Amino acid sequence: MIKEKILVLDFGGQYNQLIARRVRECNVYCEVHPYNMSLEKIREYNPMGIIFTGGPNSVFGDDAPLVDKELFNLGYPILGICYGCQTIAHLNGGKVSHADKREYGKTIVNVDVESKLFKYVSKETQVWMSHTDFVSKLPAGFKIVANTPSCPVSAMENVEKKLYAVQFHPEVNHSLEGMQMLKNFVYDICGCSGDWKMDDFAKTTIETLRKKIGDGKVLCALSGGVDSSVAAVLLSKAVGKQLTCVFVDHGLLRKNEGDEVEAVFGPNGPYKLNFIRVNAQERFYAKLKGVTEPERKRKIIGEEFIRVFEEEAKKIGAVDYLVQGTIYPDVIESGLGKSATIKSHHNVGGLPSVVNFKEIVEPLRLLFKDEVRKVGLELGIPDYLVYRQPFPGPGLGIRIIGEVTAEKVKIVQDADYIYREEIAKAGVDKSCNLGQYFAALTNMQSVGVMGDERTYDYAIALRAVQTSDFMTADWARIPYDVLDIISRRIVNEVKGVNRVLLDCTSKPPATIEFE
């Protein structure tokens, strides 16, 4: 049982996950729910305090997301951020106006250090602003506690009603003392003690799963990625041989990856799982023959994956529980976001309708990626699996531009292997803080010369990015001498390649993967 919880009400801001993260960094448990969560549900949730996120709307817009005013009378401490601040002002009788110009970026605010929110914060402190609307008239009972020349109500409070609001974003790193402000809110204003820790997670989850599942039968689609691996190990510790893991090798994995997964999770590995490896390479290559359009490739791989899994599941028969490695960012993104579909992501989300089961279990549903990794290490999963970079469900299928063939898979696997090996050798993954890096096979052939012979071969593109959330990314500046070794090795060792290109585009405007 979690004693102290903070509730983040999401108004559609970009930083909703980050706010939850920051609160958890204060060792206080926290969840994000939609802004229109009912008062009844909020009471039931019983938070120590509530944070309103920012959002893209104007409070006076036609379908502006707003909360029930009654929420302000329930005695919960509330902190409004950006749009959340404007919501508090608007619903409490203040006025919000529209500025001609957007205020965006680093700003120095003068804060009232007597305010509980700004305890230990400097009188003049740098914060991050990103808004057009602003509070132009203070609501009755409120006091200004931070200002700038262009934003007179940068922060306001009504101590009696425990309402606090900031126009800026304390959760982002550019707000240099923002973390202190959030600590002040959760500890001093909400009264949390900060005793929530990850350590107990594995132990309590295993016990809870064991009780819940009893002698039921459990099925897990294991990809070898950190999320499904951690979920599978938790389940196996809870119910042992009642769990069966199905690992579909679609022939689009990195070099040796299928064998690595089998070595850890297969019959000779430390976990002694019921492990079924399906070698379905040929099926996938056959389906992908002649297909070049990226979205079609993604759909075909996703659908074929489900077909293979379904066939295996049928052999096992009806199961009671299906395990999914869903993690918290997936929950937030799929449940609340309204963003445009740039790529149709493939993951095990499509499985439930094809498998006969009673219930889905998602033991990692409330954890962020780094929290999942901590649990993985605690469970003794090898470092190289725990710290594996993210790998897309459609695998190399979307790192081969144009038609996928077995020959092209081999080329990209070999090039990628060399790339990763040299990056590790030079320690560049750490020194350049790489979030993700891989080789892709362009669909371009060009002329080269090798040993006096003309060649007409493919070009490999090297991608490496720095990113914290994979939503935006900067291309990484890998040292030239390391690139030189990588390029020479790839051209010399990988048959069919005569040119190596470096992708120096950030996201946006590019994406991390090529398709």
Give contact residues for ligand XMP (rule: CB under 6 A). 343, 345-347, 390, 392-394, 436, 470, 507, 511-513
Q: Which is nearer to ligand XMP, 152 or 390 (CB)?
A: 390
Give me the active site residues, please: 82, 169, 171
The pair of structure tokens assigned to 30 is 């926290």
CA dihedral (64, 65, 71, 75) positive or negative: negative
Nearer to ligand XMP, 95 or 343 (CB): 343
Task: Tell whether omega for the bond before 294 is within 30 degrees of 0, i.e. cis.
Answer: no
CA–CA separation, 472 and 310 (whole Å): 35
The least CB distance from residue 298 to ligand XMP, in Å, is 6
Residue for token pair 């506690």: 145
Place of tokens 């509070």: 135
Name, in order, each residue with C-beta under 8 angstroms of 415's C-beta and a sequence gap of 6 or more: 439, 441, 460, 490, 494, 497
Least CB distance from residue 343 to ligand XMP, whole Å?
A: 5
Nearer to ligand XMP, 159 or 471 (CB): 471
Is the previous residue joined to 508 through a cis bond, with omega within 30 degrees of 0? yes
Residue with smaller CB distance to ligand XMP, 205 or 228: 228
Q: Identify whether 509 is preceded by a cis peptide bond (ω within 30 of 0).
A: yes
Shortest Cβ 337–ligand XMP spacing (Å): 14
* Rounded-to-integer distance, Cα 369 and Cα 375, Å: 10
Q: Distances in Å between the alpha carbon of 45 and those of 395, 454, 482, 500?
A: 39, 70, 53, 55
Nearer to ligand XMP, 183 or 298 (CB): 298
Q: Which of 91, 39, 42 is nearest to 66 (CA)?
A: 91
Rounded to whole angstroms, the Cα distance separating 101 from 398 reads 41
Taking the C-alpha atoms of residue 249 and residue 259, their distance in angstroms, rounded to an integer, is: 10
- Return the number of the residue (139 or 302) whose C-beta is nearest ligand XMP: 302
User: Nearest approach, Cβ of 104 to ligand XMP (angstroms)?
Assistant: 24
277 token code pair: 């490896």
- Nearest distance from C-beta of residue 90 to ligand XMP, angstroms: 36
Helices (H) and strands (E) in the chain, counts: 15, 18
* Strands ordered across the beta sheet of 49-52: 29-34, 5-10, 49-52, 78-81, 163-166, 155-158, 143-147, 95-111, 124-137
Nearer of residues 72 and 470 to ligand XMP, judged by Cβ: 470
Cα–Cα distance for residue pair 493/505, rounded to 1 Å: 27
User: Nearest distance from residue 330's CB to ligand XMP, in Å?
Assistant: 9
- 502 with 470: CB under 8 angstroms? no
SS3 315: helix
Distance of alpha carbon 221 from alpha carbon 218, whole angstroms: 10
Backbone angles phi, psi at 13, to 5 degrees: -75, 160
Q: How far apart are CA 117 and CA 237, in angstroms?
A: 44
Q: Whose CA is closest to 381, among 217, 236, 207, 200?
A: 236
Nearer to ligand XMP, 213 or 367 (CB): 367
Closer Cβ to ligand XMP, 216 or 390, answer by number:
390
Give the C-alpha separation, 183 to 179, whole Å: 6
Residue reference for tokens 């790192």: 399
Question: Toward ligand XMP, which CB reaches closer, 161 or 345?
Answer: 345
CB 327 → ligand XMP: shortest distance, Å?
11
Residues facing 146 on adjacent strands = 111, 155
Cβ at position 341, least distance to ligand XMP in Å: 11
Q: Considering the complex, what minimum distance in angstroms separates the CB of residue 398 from ligand XMP? A: 6
Q: Report in angstroms how near the CB of residue 506 gets to ligand XMP at its nearest.
A: 11
Tokens encoding 483 = 């690139």
Q: What is 375-387 written as a DSSP string?
A: HHHHTT--HHHHT
